[in-house]
Amino acid sequence: LKANPWIADATILKLYPGRLQIDIVERTAFALWQQDGRLSVIAEDGAVLEPYMSRRFATLPLVVGKGADLKARDFLALLDRYPQVRIVTKAAIFVGERRWNLRLKDGLDIRLPENDVGNALALLSKLDQDDRLFSRDIVAVDMRLPDRLTVQLSEDAAKAREELFKEKKPRKKAGDA
């Protein structure tokens, strides 16, 4: 029974004269894990339950990358504390087996720091609440450096910003050399 990945634990008790009592602790589907192009359904402890084939698991959170299966429980629990960020997250990507990136449903990439992820998520949530960060014309937010946040504009937004600065350049006065 324990060879079945859906079964976390099983005990069999022989009851005389001719009965058996079987107790089973079943694992539940916790997340989808993608690695090397394969998608699997995993339990909370990271155990692979089955290859992803059924749409019934489509609502599970998606984690990607080597080691993400084992680290997903703690990271997703932390992410749950920030529902404003969690609700727009499409996938959590484990990078280099040491830090996480978020891919939002609209394609925005958030590069989280290796340490102090909770504060980074709190800041992200606050920036979206106060400044509507997630609805801006950007493609990436880099939070890996502790003393700064870097935002990458989309091509259209970058061109518009460049044009704006060209228009604002001061003109030379007559007589200036």
* pLDDT by residue, tens only, the chain of 177 residues: 889 999 999 999 999 989 999 999 999 999 999 999 999 999 999 999 999 988 899 999 999 999 999 999 999 999 999 999 999 999 999 999 999 999 999 999 999 999 999 999 999 999 999 999 998 889 999 999 988 999 998 888 777 777 777 766 665 555 555
Would strands 99-104 and 150-153 be described as parallel, antiparallel, or unpaired?
A: unpaired
**Residue 45: Cβ within 10 Å count:** 12
- Residues 94 and 100 sit within 8 Å (Cβ to Cβ): yes
- Residues 43 and 85 sit within 8 Å (Cβ to Cβ): no
Cα torsion at 71, 73, 78, 81 (round to 10°)? 160
User: Quick one: which of 141, 85, 82, 75 has its CA closest to 111?
Assistant: 141
pTM of the model: 0.81
